[in-house]
Every structure is written in structure tokens, then in C-alpha cells.
Amino acid sequence: MALIIDTLKAKSKPKAAPKLPENYAPHPTAQTWTRAQVDALFALPFMDLLLKAQTIHREYHAANKVQMSQLLSIKTGGCAEDCGYCNQSAHFDTGLKASKLMDSDVVIAAARKAKAGGAGRFCMGAAWREPKDRDMDALCEMVSEVKAMGLETCMTLGMLSPNQAERLSQSGLDYYNHNIDTAPEDYGRVISTRTFEDRLHTLNLVRESGMKVCCGGIVGMGEQAEDRIGLLLALANLNPAPESVPINALVPVAGTPLGDSKAVHPIEFARLIAVARIMMPESYVRLSAGREEMSDEAQALCFMAGANSIFVGETLLTTDNPSESEDRTLFARLGIEGE
């Protein structure tokens, strides 16, 4: 099973960390990080931190190469969860209209267009607490057809049952995305309809089925600096660490509880990317939501800090994303190529 070590229970402020299951114990050969070690990384002078992160990045990844993924919302809105950042929750009035699951042929056409545009991975997201068994045939068909195009495949569908995870794996799904969103100590402030342990349970099922894990979080939700440290500790001390780590900057949406949250400063965001790269050297660290609000300079800092994956396409689920021409221009200025 995926593992969370005891250091996740450390408290740097008077918040009660959730009780983790007893069977979450460190593997004897797993590298683990302590809060003190991560504190020390965040305390480094910014330029020293970037140099360290970029040096490590080049040991594990090709320089000046960025993976391009595209994400399609295959079922939008009406979600039963109450994630305080999400305009797709049925709990909040954000004006977003709920839709049914897309037909497979529409999804497959979108994947074909994404590949023609340079995407190497195609991700499909459905706003569900968990998929219904009646939807699994259609979902597995989408996976197998997209996989047959030569694209890496990824889905995010909420929580899974063991049988559902196994079916997705057998259909050829490469990655399953299930973000932990924030530090375990901060989790209850953001979401009440499922627990941090629920997240871990689904991640365990993904690992056991043979799929790779895509798991990250969101910053700019009103969290404290120590919560960002807790987020990275929780991610890096999974065993193994997620192969793909999306770092999202909250795109505030009116009508959601966190819609008036203050954005994280670009330098602090790049610092987070750099520490993630150092702690998870083999992982893809992806700039995800929020790039539309980032300047070219802020994105350049993040690439210098070790980010090597982005989402392309003008829409990221339900929020805006930089256009293909904007990304092409930025890559040309930086001498970056798509992987």
C-alpha cells in the first residue's frame, strides 16, 4: 500500500492532524523527509534554492524539455463533494450547469485533436464523488481508444472501488489523478464530505492495480506556509512518491467558500516548485491550474525551479488556460521544447 510516515502527524500550529490508519508505516528502504529538513529547504536564499533544484532536475530529466498534457472535462458539475475551491460542487451556486458523461466518440475526437496539437498525455476528468459501475464500460472504452492513439492516458473520477481500479488498469490507463489538495492538518478546513484517509485509500487502490499515481495539491486557498510544507511532506513521503505531481494555484470562483482567497506570491510559488523538485526528483512536477494568471516571468521561474510539465489547451476543466500561441511564444523565448 502507499505509505504515509509518522512525521505527517507533526504539528507546527495548534491544529489536530487526522488519525492515520495503523497500517500506514514507512517501508524500511523508503526515503523519508522530516519537517525540519523541509523547513531548511524553504529557508534557503531563493537563488541558492533554485540552483539546487535545477541541478537536481538535470540529474533526472532532460534540460529544457517540458511535457505537454491536455485535460478534458468529460462530465462537468453536479458533484456531491463540498471541496471549498471547486465551482463544480453541487453545494455552491456558481452558475455552472451540470452535464452528463460525454459520449465516447466526442472524447476520442478531442484526444485526436490534442495529439495533433502536440500533447503527449490526455487526461479525462469527471466531477463525481465516485463513478457508478454502469459508467465503467464507457470509461474503459475511452481509455483504450485514447491509448491506441499512442497517447499516455490519465483519468480523475473521484474515489474508486477495487474492481473499478482494476478495470481501469486493464483498459490501459497509465495514470490516475487523485489530489490530496492540502496538508493533512489543513484538510478539514477545505473539505468535509470525505476524509484525508479516503484519499489515501483510493491512492492505495491505484497503486495495487498497477497504475501510476498523479497526485498533487492546491495553494492560495488561505492556507498557512506550514500547510504548504505539510502538503509536500505528505506527497514526498508516499512510498513511492507520485510519478506526476500537479501543483495548482487556486483560480478563485465567486460563490465558492474559498473564492476570495489571496494568491500566493509568484516567488513563493516558485519556491514551492523548487522544494517539490528536490523532494521528488524523479517525478514530473506540473504547473497546473492558475497559469492564465501567471506572467511569463513567473512561469520561467517555475521552469527554472524544476517544473517540467504543463496542461495545454485554452480550457482546464472549467477555467481558462493560456492559448496554444501564448505557450508557443513563451517556449520559444525560453528555448524550451515539448517532450
pLDDT in tens, the chain (339 residues): 433 333 333 333 334 433 433 333 333 334 789 999 999 999 999 999 999 999 999 999 999 999 989 999 999 888 989 898 888 888 888 787 888 999 999 999 999 999 988 888 999 999 999 999 999 999 999 999 999 999 999 999 999 999 999 999 999 999 999 999 999 999 999 999 999 999 999 999 999 999 999 999 999 999 999 999 999 999 999 989 999 999 999 988 888 988 889 999 999 999 999 999 999 999 999 999 889 999 999 999 999 999 999 988 766 666 778 888 899 999 999 999 988
How many angstroms separate the Cα of 97 from the Cα of each of 87, 110, 127, 155? 10, 21, 12, 21
**CB of 319 closer than 8 Å to CB of 96:** no
**CB of 122 closer than 8 Å to CB of 114:** yes
List active site positions.
Answer: 79, 83, 86, 123, 154, 214, 286
Q: What's the pTM?
A: 0.86
**CB of 38 closer than 8 Å to CB of 279:** yes
